[in-house]
Amino acid sequence: MNQQHVHCLINNCHYWANGNKCEANEILVTPDTFAANQQDSIDATMAKQLTPASAESCMSTCCKTFVQKNSDKINADHINKMF
Ligand code: SF4
């Protein structure tokens, strides 16, 4: 069975781990404009309900699942750390 691995360089994210690994059990990548206008609670657990959109380049996409380490918003998106 294939297993997806997400690699990430954002080391102040709650889900980031040594080796530049993302330890979120799921993530949501969105256009920057979408993420800027949504509450923290809108995230990967709601992905099936969200409308897909296009992006001009990688620079106009972002990880909606990002949350700063030690933030009081860590549980707002209902995403879990795998380890
Ligand atoms: S949730 Fe997003 S920003 Fe945070 S470590 Fe994973 S991929 Fe990176």
Question: Hey, which residues does 82 pair with through a beta bridge?
Answer: none
66 lines ligand 1 (CB under 6 A): yes
CA 64–ligand 1 middle distance (angstroms): 8
Quote the pLDDT of residue 50: 97
Which residue puts its alpha carbon closest to atom 3 of ligand 1? 66
Domain boundaries, the chain: 1-83
27 lines ligand 1 (CB under 6 A): yes
CA 22–ligand 1 middle distance (angstroms): 5
Question: What are the tens digits of pLDDT across the range 4-54?
Answer: 899 999 999 999 999 999 999 999 999 999 999 999 999 999 999 999 999
Evaluate whether 32 touches 60 at the Cβ level (below 8 Å).
yes
pTM: 0.94
d(CA 22, CA 65): 10
